[in-house]
Structure 1
Amino acid sequence: MEGECYKEENGIKYAGYAAGIPSREVAEADGIDYDTQILAKFGPEPSTNDFEGKIDKDGNRKRMADWQYLYETDLTKLNLQDYHPNNDETFAVGDYVLFGSYCRGTGQAVSGANTTMKNRTYVTNYFESDGIQKALDIWNECILDDEVRALMEKNGGSIFEDSIETTHDGPFWSADLMEDMTNYLGYDTTIYAPVYMSGRTSKTFVDVPGQAAPDIIVTRDADFIFQSENDESERIIEDYNLALAHLFETEHVKTIQDWAAGFNYNYRAQAYSLPGLSIVGAALMTDVTEGDNSTYKDALRQLSSAVNMKGEKFLSLESCTFAKADFNWQTILKEMNQNTSQGVNRVIVHGSAYPVTLNNYQDSWPGWNWGGGTGFPAWDSRQIFWDDADALNGYITRTQAVMQNGTAKVDLAILNDTEQSFHLITKNSNQELLNNGYSYNILDESVLNLDSAVVTNRVLNENGPAYKAIVLDNVNMLSAPTAFKLIEYAKAGLPVILKNSNPQRIYGTEKGENNVDNLTAWIAELKNMDNVKSVTTEQELMDVLAELNISSSAQYTDVNGLETSHRQDNVGDYYYLFNDNTEQPVSTTVQLEGNGVPYTLDPWTGEITPIATYTEQEDGVSIHLDLGAKQSVIIAVAPEGGDFPKVEDTHVTAVTGGQAVYDG
């Protein structure tokens, strides 16, 4: 079909530009504002085109005149005899609609983020190994000489990758994506090219005042959207999303891991977020799971589930990414206390550790952007608060020593809806549980495929977090194999609780046993089991937990804002209690599981002090707890002697004024 074209040469018609950045002439002929849509995004023009490749020595990109052929479509195989198209602006049943699709390189650049390269920061192609290999080639050629490689191999460590900040103006695509999707999904994806076009989205980053990290805004901005019976077009887009997630793992993550292993390094990454890529599933791909301050509250409990189910030691955090140079230690400490309560046990403070800044700007006293400007703070001796750094680092080190020790024990597993699993949950979605002592992780279907995801002695992953029940929380979409696995769990004795959950839809198209008929049948079977309960409210959930005799390791009643983390080793039980209230202090009685005497572990000094006033319980102890807003305390319950101080044969069970302490 012929349309408007910009060039004809030797009888051949061409249209548009196939790759690269258009010149002003081509852009304006295509209705593109050259100044706002080309210069603003891709930077200035080169002063001359007398150089090899597309980018000159200053990082300026050549304007292209790489014209593509104007393709014509052969419609002779269509029987159009007696076909009379509807001439209205709307389509009618029986109308033919012809779509043309093609792909071209765009040189996609990051928008709404700080530039760390000359003129612009390019978006990585996460879906072909060639994308990340370009970055690895720079390392191999310019950084990793024989001496450096030998030292890295000797000492070990991690290659770190920041979060997936894929600003994009159209569908995610790469040169071989159609072929790769066909191979992964098992059907010819080329026939659905118009549907993929209709799934086009844009992704930008927007700063929100008072929020720890920017909001990620994804807008569906296609010129048209397909609608079909049984959500077929939506399911095709979902398959496309799943294929992107698969390619991220196999083409991107695996390439980095194989390269890093060559010099005894592993892969530490903030592997989020992409459509179709579950937050927990992506964390399972990494060697060391990491978050940043866009992961807080339940988002950290999502990452924690991957760490705990894999049996990893660390949940790492790029901490205090919101901080500017005018923040004080108190603010930093409150943030770190909250992160620790939600699963973090290794912090890496965001900022610059060097006296010279990225662009040599403000590199003299008092430092980079001191006094409330934008940019990274400089954590070094130029700052007037540096005298306190040793005390804060001691506090962090001792806290992390406890929280890296032993094994995390978590009361409940909350299973996520399939579609929700692709998103960070930046709130406490089950506050009532926290207020009554229950700890929980947010799981998704990916962790249930691990070898550790088995039920023994009525708990899930007995040698790991030992979840006492699994709660489906507002689950409307689930795979059929997961529904069948829940039946097996219930048969093995694990209680299953359906909270506003009746999944009747799978994500993507049906494949093998993962179909809607199996899902609905297996969910119906699950609901008829004796240890499977359905609830609709927070209070009903609490009542069912009591009915099933599922108690929390730390027990207290309706204490708003109090959160508890529990770890266990072969010596004793360790509890991290945190008051998440902004202003309100906490004063309550807490019962802690464990065998022995309660001790406080002071992370400021390293002192271990027996608690003189407590009550022995059948399977633990009860103590009185006072915590100020955003404060935390570490308590151990362990036998006296050995790692813990000896205590008197008697202790105080109650006081009428003041407090009892051990003397010596």
Structure 2
Amino acid sequence: MTTWQMEYFRSPSKRFRPRMRWWLPGAFMENEEIKREIEWMAEAGYGGAEIIHFFQIPNVEVKPSDYGRYGFGGPEWNDRMKAALEAAIPLNFQLDFTIGPLWPIATPAIMDKNDERCAQGLHVGTIIVTGSYSGEIPVPATIDPERNYKLTAVTAARQVEGGETVGNLKTLELETAVDLTHKTRGKRIEWTAPDSGKWCLFGFWSQTNGQMNDSIGAPVIDHYSKASADAVTGFWEEHLFADPYIQSLYEKNAGNLFCDSIELNATMQGGMYGATPMAVAIWSPSVLEEFRARRGYDLTPFLPAIFVKGLYQLGAGNRTDGNSEYDFAEREANGRIRNDFFTTLTELFRDNHLRTLRLWANGHNMKLRYQTYGMTTELTSGLAEVDIPETESLGFRDSTDGYRLQSGAVHLYEREIYSIEVGAVMGYGYKQTWTGHDFGLLWQLHRGFSAGVNQAVLHGMSYETASASGHFEAMFKWPGMSLMGSMFSNEWGTRQPTSRHARALTDYIARSQYVLQQGKPKVDLAIYRHHIDGIHEGMGTELTPYELAGYTYDFISPCLLETPSAKVGEFNGQPALAADGPAYRAIIVDMRKNTVSGDWMSSDLPVETAERLIALASEGLPIVLVGNIPCRVVSYPGSIADLKIQESRLQERIAVLLDRRTVRLVPDQAHVFEALAQLNVVPAVQFRSGLPLLSARRNQIGCQYYFLYNPSCDETYDGEVLLEGRGVPVRLNAWDGSANPIAANLFPLGRAGVKLRLAPNESALFAILEEWPEGDGLESPKPSGTGKHVVMDCWSLEVEGWSPGDQPTSTKLEHIEVELDELRSWTELPELRSVSGIGRYRTELRLEAHGGNRNSVILDLGEVSDTFRVFVNGRGIQGANQIGRRIQIGEYIQFEGVNTLEIEVATTLNNALMASDPNRKPQECGLMGPVTIYYNI
């Protein structure tokens, strides 16, 4: 870490700073207000904003007859974007733009919801036939008869006599499945079954799903169609880039084209979110043709197998291991047919949609940032066509394993940035804190950092609408029009008291992100995983066995093992997969849980992947197989006979793999770590305390960087941590930007043991440098909470209370004074129970003469909510740790005299909003302590 790198760490540039999701009311804005809000975000320490054309909210100055000018891509919108770009570019404040208004993706270029370029579903109607049938092809009730629908295929299959009922029907005989589409005449068919059994006749109908983008009243596009993606980019070319000067601003800004999570439903008949489960599949007109070309067999006879009820609807079920409503009796075939269907959708999404958008964006000096989850697709393959992959805290439920569904692709595709939309929590509008354990933003972000994330986009901030007309006027209340924050937290702009302290938090995030974007990631393990997760499957927040053992890991898939970088090299004297990148020390072929039963099951494994594992093991890479040996291939080869041949080949290749010297088979995850120890695969970070830590590592020539995090919400980590690396250990303080070498115990195999104390939810940054450019001074030890100390109970509290002003966007400030002989939450003080705002606590103290190191005088604030500043004798302390809340104050203290101590605390707006929202509950806030000064240690 050079001197200039340390300077960049102290004052990170805009590129390393967190970004803000910025919700805009269409073009109903003022250029001066746009400029003011951009300047505030830049001053508050944000590096950029993601612009979203939310709902159009007319203001009272605009006549209804003029509303048409204010739409997305219209003259007023383009003028506002010009103003935004002209304000942002001189500040080096980068603007990102959603590909269309709001979400899911829609474009004014397609306004007819019956257009074939709209998102579609495949519906299935059935009728039981014995002997001959002449009549109408069955149409299901899921079809909207008032809109266009199209016959896609007609098939039949014989029911198993005496067979079990799965889903909607008795199981079907796979070998009898037949395509009858060629026998249709319009909407009728004449057909005679080949024997006397009971046959199920299927009619498959495609229909646009009727899903609308509410921002502009346009239908959602087909995400598998190149024509649909071309319509989106074509609208940009013809309307947003119609003015060459505005186009030049977009290109000079060099921001990202952004797409949110894919919130598609195969049908809207069951509703949008938490939909009534229906047997309708996501569809696109080219699926059958593309499936045949890509998979090598015809899907048409097997279409009944894809209809897992609710699977293709948001919130209706993620059961990709579930049965179809019309399953075949040969159960081993059904899941593989569905896998082939999902794989085809994945490839169409990647090749037609993502690639089209990325190439267009790159052609205009922009990158594509995309949340590619939300459909039944395989996540890692699609990320090959995304410049900046993004995850989210909401959809993945703050699960580190959920974030790892993409981290392996980020690392093996060598993407520099792995972004996260952080801060959307249902029901936490104006309640979410920066520092708390109850979905605090840093609690969420630290979990992401631990799993490979290195860029935060806060959700979010609304434009300060000055007025609203029409039905929006009734929603226009103090503290202003919250376009999303009243439901999904949070409003992180100036309307909350904590905004006064934003810079301290954004500086901390920026310094953390600076470290996490240096060099290349280094990850201990690659865990093989092939599974279609459906609609972003969360995995829980409890620590996994691998995390408890101290290992870092990514999930990798068959396609990732085929990337050019996935070859065996050497890192730190040991074999490593992708040695110049993540340098995985071993591959774990683990079990996974069935999404329906919850039972552990072996991973599906293509024969080609087994061959790849044999090749890697032959080059010395350790591989551990867990639980049942993989015996199921991923794909269906077109017939049961060929499937049995494939699975026989897989078992033979697994036997060959197990015969390799560096391969182990263990019964369960608990035995993995003994096998890894035998193979000399140990974590890069080892903790010597009963409490586990999470970590992330970056490698740069001459330097190893470590991010360490205590995920506990109530226990402090206090012990030694062993870090892999040779050189000088340096503690990097992300709160104040300092970098100090520290004393360390040296261990064999190039490991440094450092003492570490981390409060619940606290993180730490370390670097191990080959050379230290700033001298030999060591960081002074901090007190452990013993020795001389003073507890301060009596305080004078002055509160600046925030309450509604004369207008919805104006805030009245009320002055309240309280004398305290004990620190308590404002909710326990009658004068402050329903008050939000800024509190300033003042007290005086004397300390005895002090002959020791001034750095050992520590102020411990105890409990605080939410953010704070500290002043000692009128001097503000920069970079106070908002999580650990233990602050060195020795250089500010005068001994043998009176010292004044002031703590300024900012709250959320929750308690002040209780008066207008009876559903809100009091939220503890203020300085709750105990406040203690430790010294003479």
Shorter-chain TM-score range: 0.7 to 0.9
Distance 1:287 1:374 in 2: 31
Distance 1:16 1:493 in 2: 58
Of residues 721, 743, 746, the one that matches 1:616 is 746
Tell me which residue corresponds to 2:261.
163
Give the C-alpha shift of residue 348 in structure 1: 0.8
| 2:448 match: secondary structure | helix
Of residues 379, 389, 399, the one that matches 1:279 is 379
Paired residues of 2:524 and 2:552 also in contact (CA < 8 A): yes
Q: Render the CA deviation track for 1:453-502: whole Å, top value 9, x for unaligned.
A: 00023111111111111111114311111111111111101110011141
- 1:374 aligned to 2:487? yes
| 1:101 match: secondary structure | strand
Paired residues of 1:279 and 1:422 also in contact (CA < 8 A): no
- 1:131 aligned to 2:248? no
Q: Tell me how large the CA RMSD over aligned residues is.
A: 3.8
- 1:426 aligned to 2:528? no
Distance 1:505 1:437 in 2: 31
Paired residues of 1:437 and 1:557 also in contact (CA < 8 A): no
- 1:346 aligned to 2:455? yes
Of residues 603, 609, 612, the one that matches 1:482 is 609
Give the C-alpha shift of residue 633 in structure 1: 0.7
Q: 5+ residue gaps in structure 1?
A: 5-11, 27-67, 86-94, 207-214
Distance 2:566 2:320 in 1: 36
- Alpha-carbon distance change, 218 to 178 in structure 1, aligned in 2, over 3 angstroms: same
Give the C-alpha shift of residue 154 in structure 1: 2.9
- 1:459 aligned to 2:579? no
Tell me which residue corresponds to 1:584.
715
- Alpha-carbon distance change, 393 to 280 in structure 1, aligned in 2, over 3 angstroms: same
Of residues 496, 499, 506, the one that matches 2:633 is 506
Tell me which residue corresponds to 1:602.
733
- Alpha-carbon distance change, 316 to 219 in structure 1, aligned in 2, over 3 angstroms: closer
Q: 5+ residue gaps in structure 2?
A: 1-125, 128-134, 150-183, 268-279, 592-601, 788-851, 857-890, 892-937
- Alpha-carbon distance change, 496 to 362 in structure 1, aligned in 2, over 3 angstroms: same
| 2:232 match: secondary structure | helix
Give the C-alpha shift of residue 506 in structure 1: 0.9
Give the C-alpha shift of residue 200 in structure 1: 5.3
Tell me which residue corresponds to 1:59.
none
- 1:408 aligned to 2:508? no
| 2:205 match: secondary structure | coil
TM-score by length of 1: 0.78
Give the C-alpha shift of residue 550 in structure 1: 1.5
Residue 249 of structure 2 aligns with an amino acid whose one-letter code is L
- Alpha-carbon distance change, 135 to 536 in structure 1, aligned in 2, over 3 angstroms: same
Residue 449 of structure 2 aligns with an amino acid whose one-letter code is T
Distance 1:498 1:144 in 2: 54
Paired residues of 1:574 and 1:634 also in contact (CA < 8 A): yes
Q: Render the CA deviation track for 1:158-187: whole Å, top value 9, x for unaligned.
A: 211111212223111222322222222222
Give the C-alpha shift of residue 104 in structure 1: 3.5
Of residues 437, 445, 448, the one that matches 1:336 is 445
Tell me which residue corresponds to 1:29.
none
- Matched ranges for 1:15-164 at <5 A: 22-23=145-146, 71-75=187-191, 85=196, 95-109=197-211, 116-117=214-215, 122-145=219-242, 146-164=244-262
Of residues 277, 293, 297, the one that matches 1:183 is 293
- Alpha-carbon distance change, 526 to 124 in structure 1, aligned in 2, over 3 angstroms: same
Distance 1:522 1:430 in 2: 33
Residue 105 of structure 1 aligns with an amino acid whose one-letter code is Q
**Greater displacement, 289-298 / 504-513:** 504-513
Give the C-alpha shift of residue 139 in structure 1: 2.6
Distance 2:673 2:777 in 1: 39
Residue 74 of structure 1 aligns with an amino acid whose one-letter code is E
- Alpha-carbon distance change, 429 to 496 in structure 1, aligned in 2, over 3 angstroms: farther
Paired residues of 2:138 and 2:203 also in contact (CA < 8 A): no
- Alpha-carbon distance change, 661 to 227 in structure 1, aligned in 2, over 3 angstroms: farther
- 1:173 aligned to 2:270? no
- Matched ranges for 1:216-615 at <5 A: 217=318, 224-229=325-330, 231-275=332-376, 277-293=377-393, 294-295=395-396, 296-322=399-425, 323-330=428-435, 331-356=440-465, 365-369=478-482, 373-375=486-488, 377-418=490-531, 424=537, 426-427=539-540, 431-457=544-570, 458-474=575-591, 475-510=602-637, 515-557=646-688, 559-611=690-742, 613-615=743-745
**Larger strand fraction of residues:** 2
Distance 1:660 1:599 in 2: 20
- Alpha-carbon distance change, 137 to 103 in structure 1, aligned in 2, over 3 angstroms: farther
Paired residues of 1:298 and 1:429 also in contact (CA < 8 A): no
Paired residues of 1:572 and 1:636 also in contact (CA < 8 A): yes
- Alpha-carbon distance change, 267 to 501 in structure 1, aligned in 2, over 3 angstroms: farther
Structure with more relative contact order (C-alpha pairs < 8 Å, separation 6 or more): 2
Give the C-alpha shift of residue 581 in structure 1: 0.8
Give the C-alpha shift of residue 373 in structure 1: 3.6
Distance 2:474 2:370 in 1: 29
Paired residues of 1:18 and 1:104 also in contact (CA < 8 A): no
Residue 148 of structure 1 aligns with an amino acid whose one-letter code is I
Paired residues of 1:15 and 1:69 also in contact (CA < 8 A): no
| 1:624 match: secondary structure | strand
Give the C-alpha shift of residue 326 in structure 1: 2.0
- Alpha-carbon distance change, 360 to 229 in structure 1, aligned in 2, over 3 angstroms: same
- Alpha-carbon distance change, 430 to 572 in structure 1, aligned in 2, over 3 angstroms: same
Paired residues of 2:577 and 2:583 also in contact (CA < 8 A): yes
Residue 370 of structure 2 aligns with an amino acid whose one-letter code is A
Paired residues of 2:684 and 2:723 also in contact (CA < 8 A): yes
Tell me which residue corresponds to 1:631.
762
Distance 2:854 2:588 in 1: 42
Distance 1:356 1:150 in 2: 28
Give the C-alpha shift of residue 419 in structure 1: 5.1
Distance 1:14 1:410 in 2: 56
Distance 2:501 2:777 in 1: 37
Distance 1:135 1:426 in 2: 34
User: What percent of counterpart residues are identical?
Assistant: 25
Paired residues of 2:485 and 2:491 also in contact (CA < 8 A): no
Distance 2:474 2:317 in 1: 29
Residue 580 of structure 2 aligns with an amino acid whose one-letter code is N
Number of aligned residue pairs: give it. Answer: 581
Distance 1:578 1:516 in 2: 43
| 1:289 match: secondary structure | strand
| 1:541 match: secondary structure | helix
Distance 1:518 1:429 in 2: 38
TM-score by length of 2: 0.57
Distance 1:562 1:160 in 2: 33
- Alpha-carbon distance change, 410 to 234 in structure 1, aligned in 2, over 3 angstroms: closer
Give the C-alpha shift of residue 194 in structure 1: 4.1
**Greater displacement, 550-559 / 393-402:** 550-559
Of residues 760, 768, 776, the one that matches 1:647 is 776
Distance 1:135 1:300 in 2: 29
**Greater displacement, 368-377 / 233-242:** 368-377
Paired residues of 1:453 and 1:460 also in contact (CA < 8 A): yes
